[in-house]
Structure 1
Amino acid sequence: MNSRISSNNVLIVEDETLLALMLEDLLIDSGHHVVHASSLPEAMAALEREPFDAAILDININGDDVFPVAARLRELNTPFVFASATDAEQIGPEFRQEELIAKPYTIGQLQQSLSHMLAVEGT
């Protein structure tokens, strides 16, 4: 059985360079196209430039909350997951139902979440 997921366009919004590079490598090795944004303006510009099948969002990006990006993803019907050390209680009520993978997370947790998002997207 092949554990690779079919190619999809995935947005990573992460300001920790080493973590972003690890995520990019993992996703590229799984056959995905990856766009990395390390700031909110970069993320919003990426969303206007191209469609995404899924997104992985750190909540705190250089001191700013990622929620405007999450709101835009929701408007575009693009599934996303928060991957952050931020406590769930700090997430506003409009996003509390979204999945939160707590840092430090495992590769398995991330792969399972991504697989679920892409399966839901494909239905």
Structure 2
Amino acid sequence: MDHLAHTGNNVLIVEDEKLLAMMLEDLLMETGHRVVHAGSLGEALSLVEHQRFDAAILDINIGGQDVFPVAARLRELQTPFVFASATDVKQIGPEFRREPLIAKPYTIDQVQQSLDRMLAARV
């Protein structure tokens, strides 16, 4: 896997599927990122208010709730994010349709490439 070295970046994963979150967390930690996982909308909102993140990977449907309040707050904080979801793009509100979307099921390479683009844009 060809990826940029971004050792030490804080990455937020908002994902309610525990197995998928663990797999993603392990991969990102192996590539040198610090990872924080939120499994609920409330937990994600609290984390965003109390920690600084360099990037975020957001599942759109978290326990039956839309992740859009988290996305809106990340946007206000100028934190790049990508949606990673099986949700049809038509279900994404117009305010977020221009944000990157990785369709589930996705490959680890797709996630890493998207994360690399977000982090490179911050430099």
Q: State the TM-score, normalizing by the size of structure 2.
A: 0.95
Q: Deviations over 1:97-119 (max 9, x none)?
A: 00110000001100100000000
State the AA in 1 paired with 2:22. Answer: L
Taking the aligned partners of 1:3 and 1:119, their CA distance within structure 2 comes to: 8
Residue pairs, 1:80-91, within 5 angstroms: 80-91=81-92
Partner of 2:103: 102
Moved more, 4-13 or 93-102: 4-13
Match of 2:8 in 1: 7
Whole-angstrom CA distance in 2 between matches of 1:106 and 1:11: 18
| SS across alignment from 1:81 | strand
State the SS of the aligned residue for 1:72: helix
CA distance in structure 1 between the partners assigned to 2:11 and 2:49 by the alignment: 14
Aligned: 1:74 with 2:45 = no
Query: What is the correspondence of 1:1-123 to structure 2 with a 5 Å cutoff?
Result: 4-122=5-123
Q: Kindly indicate whether the alpha-carbon contact (under 8 Å) linking 2:4 and 2:116 is maintained by their aligned counterparts in 1.
A: no
Cα shift at 1:48: 1.3
CA RMSD of aligned residues (A): 1.3
How high is the TM-score relative to the length of structure 1? Answer: 0.95
Q: How many residues get paired?
A: 122
